[in-house]
Structure 1
């Protein structure tokens, strides 16, 4: 599955490509088709611990989602799980990392609109509202 979707002859990866590949590698591991050598190559592409931790989180997220999808099916089919989590181009069908990281350190928080209204800590408790 992973080999059909991704080219394994690469020399350099962007962070986004590495996260997508790590998520897909996690999904492959979750459906009993692990590729530990490819995961090691992806991790080695980033010497910094921050980038490596994001790649590891994406791998863990992909593996977790694949295991959950397998558990929900009566007759687990690795190909069906792969197709439900990874599209034909190799991109995750859902963002892999934001679900694993707190909102304060997500990369795309600057593109989100600010919340409207007062912070929840300033809201009145329900017992004080009419």
Structure 2
């Protein structure tokens, strides 16, 4: 399966290609065509721990998606065609941007709106000591 779509003759892989190959290897492994040597070689060729993590996640995602389709009694060749031949793997943005859910909160933008020195700000009531309670 894997060998019919990807050449084993490579010396270096870009991150995108390594992730795509790992995904395909995961699909192939779930279909009974495990190629552990190629998978380990791709991981070993990664430039960083982050890239190795992406490769591992891509492999596991391919394997998981193929097993889900396999559970629905789909032919292994059809699984391969559906997941590898007709799709592309989505990679995180390279600019290091965070997903919107992890973006800074709007509250942090209010720091520039505070006027005056910090001593003019009122503390919340639970931070104010009351002399009656400190006996």
Fold conserved between structures, TM > 0.5: yes
Q: Does 1:107 align with 2:101?
A: no
Q: Deviations over 1:2-24 (max 9, x none)?
A: 00100001000000000000000
Is 1:54 equivalent to 2:54 in the alignment?
yes
Distance 2:19 2:75 in 1: 24
Residue 95 of structure 1 deviates from its aligned partner by 2.9
Matched with 2:132 is: none
Q: Match for 1:95 among 89, 104, 125?
A: 89
Report 1 or 2 for greater relative contact order, CA contacts < 8 Å, sequence distance ≥ 6.
1
User: For the Cα contact (< 8 Å) 1:61–1:96, is it kept in 2?
Assistant: no
1:109 Cα shift?
7.8
Structure 1 unmatched ranges of 5 or more:
98-105, 120-130
| Larger Cα-atom Rg | 2
The total of aligned residue pairs comes to 100
Alpha-carbon RMSD across the aligned residues, in angstroms, is 2.4
Give unmatched runs, 5+ long, in structure 2: 106-135
**Is this contact kept in 1: 2:20–2:88, CA < 8 A?**
no
Summarize the Cα distance change of 1:25–1:39 in structure 2 as closer, same or farther, 3 Å threshold.
Answer: same
- Counterpart contact for 1:2–1:25, Cα < 8 Å: yes
**1:81 matched to 2:79:** yes
* Residues 11-50 of structure 1: pairs in structure 2 closer than 5 A: 11-50=11-50
